[in-house]
Structure 1
């Protein structure tokens, strides 16, 4: 046993000392999602685009420029990068126009990365850090210059906040309320890899539990470039790393972000484990190179060796090297030389033609994303691990000639290669080398499937609280979830439910769906647009209504007692109090209603059962953070309301209900019964109500004097004001309230003549045989109407793994500062009109 404890402790230590990748997002040329990215990589295609003369004219490129033989009309353009959802991210139009598109794209990418982990970025429980990088941008300087030329004033403070890289990370932290370390990383092409290194260090040092790390590279001026002899850019406009034909790089446009969490925390939360960061290293070449812009073999060699040491791996474990891939003959040759030396010193074979590690670079697919390149490479490796395939080298697929890799541990290929799991873990490594010599190397390993700590607990029905920004987008969300649910396994349905309840924002337009876990043949009542609800800005007033007689609750006592632990424990406590005052035969009948579903309708049994049913339902709702603002009880229901409002303690209320029911059963004359009951109520402590409660005696609100008077409770047994009038009075005072009937049925709701949208029941008429489903339907209906539900508390009884599904749809309103309309060749004027929606 001691050995087992020691072993488990060691596993826990290892997990707490490792960082997992649990979410990721990417947009680039031809890429709107990770799914698009893998399709591009696995088929060896690229997002490269040649711009024809007609489009160059439309983009206002001067003829003297694009007719120049040194002009290269090629771009890796990120689609619709001016589009932005102003409302979703809390921006005004003028603020968005002042803000660099890089900052806006980063905000959305961070949202997406967290969303893919099955979480909502606005309610993360951890201390979250932000480490992001960006490309140098002239966006703000252009606005200031062209505005001044037009004699137009500009908010310089707003311009600085929206454009300076200093504020990018802080903007993310502020927007989403993230309180961990927050910093912008600027090391040129290694920025996002250095950001990952710093994020891992912060997590392992305990500065934060999770972190966002990545980079963005967008240029509103990108519409081709002028080739300079001897420069780093390709004369042919092709980025072909590790090819004999490589003649330079081509800048791409895109954004890539990773969501990292300490491994043990990620496992406990049930996050998807996309991979584990096995080791990272960062260094600088110093002066051991030909010049400031030249790469250094010694520095790159030492970097890779250090990362392997940190990961405690031999280089023979690395199946994929996602290289920096400068695309220049000198840069590629020096990189391969350095990697070969590092791999040989760390265990790789030295014979010619060993070719044990595949060499790849996503720059051939999406261009050089500079500040985002490293994160994009890491995402490519994670996708290769997920799919069990190493993608081909895009230039080879397109027919480019490869360089000679004989005598190195590396190989290139024009086809995908199988990379399945085995007894040996799979590892990929990513190199990023920044101009100026700041280098980073990241090693990523398989997630260990056996280390899943989060267990599944689930109700037989899964409640899905679906929401969106408007009915059109909610319709799309319903259709997406419906497609995911159809044919899904029981475990997958649990995952879908848990993710929607705890990992998605609660937006204005709402609809709740209830799906069975095991019986996939059962038809699901998917909400239609006419059934959608618009939640109010504030929480609505909630009225609990408690009937005093049996109403469709014959099965509810047994069903809820079996299904809901909080309900069961509350009923058990009530039964313990009732056993002290009820005759044995009567107590057995009350108990059997919950244990066996036997439900006699005689008063001395039905009233105690109704009371326990009501307080049990209240306890279930209270555990979810739902409580009444107003209480309405009829008959014995007013005693239940008295407990819920604090007039009676839990035990005294249970005893009082038993006394009342026994008195009514034993004494036919109500006046006499009211005197035996008044006497009994003198033996309990009576308090002022803490929640406004309607009096059955007066038909108005119960006063403190009445509540504390034993005689009132005797009078309540025999004297009643016109109750229907009292109900309608409450409704007229609170026309926007939500009314929920506890116990069973809808009798009080009908009496109150409520509008259909405001009337809810925990056990609906005609559905007593499925009270578990009815209870959850009511929870969903409350949420639809704006009542706050504590979904984390709900998860104590119903939780599973978090999954990446049904991303929020953002509206894409093109945002560009007016001063730039005539001066941004990277923007097609056709993109500046209208709105779109996009995942």
Structure 2
């Protein structure tokens, strides 16, 4: 039997990568801890290196005591990578696999971040492959989503994520939306496995379905029903519309849209200068030409050939009300901030009419984020395959004269265990309480 190349890395909620967590009461104390660790594990030719398995070293660091204000996490796939990171930390040099920061003073228990769930446009080929193989927690969550979705789909979720030949492509709305819902829910479960509980949840368009489930308002079965049947309803208006994001202030975009009144409308306000427009194909072509002439930055929403959040959706009203009629929302355990109303919402109001409004009305993401900031939230985690909302959120926070930590979970072409652990580390150094023992349990 062939022995695994790195047997001590196959541990915990993610495998193949190890975090070493260090901290100190001061920057000097943090460097000193790194130097002591380096002396133990890589003393040079004059001394004997401690030969402890990498996971055991990580476990002992976590068990050493309470986290200091100055924090660092070294992430590595092998001994050399981890030691290089510790050496860089001891020498006060930056390194790509070392995350450092100074956590703000918080009440016992640390900061609870806002979990942010985007709409369509975060997909990329192979986005789940690495975590499906590296994280039993993530893989189990995907399978739970597949079970909940299976009454409404005639294809396999995991096969689509793995790119199995013959499976439907991600450019179909009735495929990509259930897939992205499953990605978001599964990533949220992985965050929670590491002890990171959301202080609030907010979703953008279809992301509200995942947010409602994570907040405890919708069962997984109800959420899966809504996302699957909603996406299938959207196929009835495919080919008639498009959606375009424009980097410009809302007032400027609305003034330009006056020339296409009735054909184009504001679909989403994602920040002070990030606006999505939705509407008829021919009108959008003319609008795009006007934007080009004005040298305004814009891009089509990927994989969208329909006009969500526009009058086109009114043709689907009865279908949408019917598909959500059996849904029974519950009081959420996590505060839910609505992008339909732009403020915190009692989740028992997430009835069929709400889910119609979710698809028909303008997405008030800007207003919802302002409400979150006003209520004291300062750390935001985008639970998605790549970040698409952080630019708008940063603009909102800066316009308000506040500060906030905004972080992605995965990134385009970077979706493995190392990237997820880096996201955890970014949260940790910003004061979020992380249960690092999950990496070694």
Show the counterpart of 1:727: 369
Question: What CA deviation, in whole Å up to 9, does each residue of 1:372-402 have, x standing for no partner?
Answer: xxxxxxxxxxxxxxxxxxxxxxxxxxxxxxx
Inter-partner Cα distance in structure 2 for 1:482 and 1:655 = 53
Contact 1:640/1:653 (8 A) holds in 2: yes
Show the counterpart of 1:781: 426
Contact 2:75/2:422 (8 A) holds in 1: yes
**Distance 1:553-1:512 versus aligned 2 partners, 3 A rule:** farther
Inter-partner Cα distance in structure 2 for 1:760 and 1:646 = 23
Show the counterpart of 1:571: 142
**Distance 1:607-1:475 versus aligned 2 partners, 3 A rule:** same
Show the counterpart of 2:203: 633
Asked if 1:561 corresponds to 2:132, the answer is: yes
Show the counterpart of 1:481: 37
Q: Mark the runs of 5 or more structure 2 residues left unpaired by the alignment.
A: 1-6, 95-99, 239-311
Q: TM-score, normalization: structure 1?
A: 0.37
Show the counterpart of 1:511: 72
**Distance 1:783-1:769 versus aligned 2 partners, 3 A rule:** closer
* C-alpha displacement of 1:730: 2.1
Provide the aligned C-alpha RMSD in A: 3.0
Contact 1:542/1:738 (8 A) holds in 2: yes
Show the counterpart of 1:537: 106
Show the counterpart of 1:738: 379
Show the counterpart of 1:760: 407
Inter-partner Cα distance in structure 2 for 1:697 and 1:478 = 48
Show the counterpart of 1:748: 389
Show the counterpart of 1:496: 57
State the secondary structure of the residue aligned to 2:128.
helix
Inter-partner Cα distance in structure 1 for 2:177 and 2:205 = 9
Aligned pair count? 335
Inter-partner Cα distance in structure 1 for 2:35 and 2:347 = 52
Map 1:595-606 → 2, pairs under 5 A: 595-596=162-163, 600-606=170-176
Q: TM-score, normalization: structure 2?
A: 0.68
* C-alpha displacement of 1:703: 2.7
State the secondary structure of the residue aligned to 1:556.
coil
Contact 1:555/1:771 (8 A) holds in 2: no
Show the counterpart of 1:444: none
Asked if 1:471 corresponds to 2:27, the answer is: yes
Contact 2:381/2:406 (8 A) holds in 1: yes
Asked if 1:691 corresponds to 2:334, the answer is: yes
Show the counterpart of 1:593: 160
* C-alpha displacement of 1:643: 0.6
Q: 2:354 aligns with which of 712, 727, 735?
A: 712
State the secondary structure of the residue aligned to 1:759.
strand
Map 1:134-213 → 2, pairs under 5 A: none
Map 1:367-382 → 2, pairs under 5 A: none
Show the counterpart of 1:28: none
Identify the structure with bigger relative contact order (alpha carbons < 8 Å, sequence gap 6+).
Answer: 2
* C-alpha displacement of 1:705: 5.2
Asked if 1:680 corresponds to 2:362, the answer is: no
Inter-partner Cα distance in structure 2 for 1:712 and 1:558 = 34
Q: Give 1 or 2 for the bigger CA radius of gyration.
A: 1
* C-alpha displacement of 1:720: 2.0
Contact 2:112/2:433 (8 A) holds in 1: no
Map 1:23-62 → 2, pairs under 5 A: none
**Distance 1:630-1:561 versus aligned 2 partners, 3 A rule:** same
Asked if 1:671 corresponds to 2:314, the answer is: yes
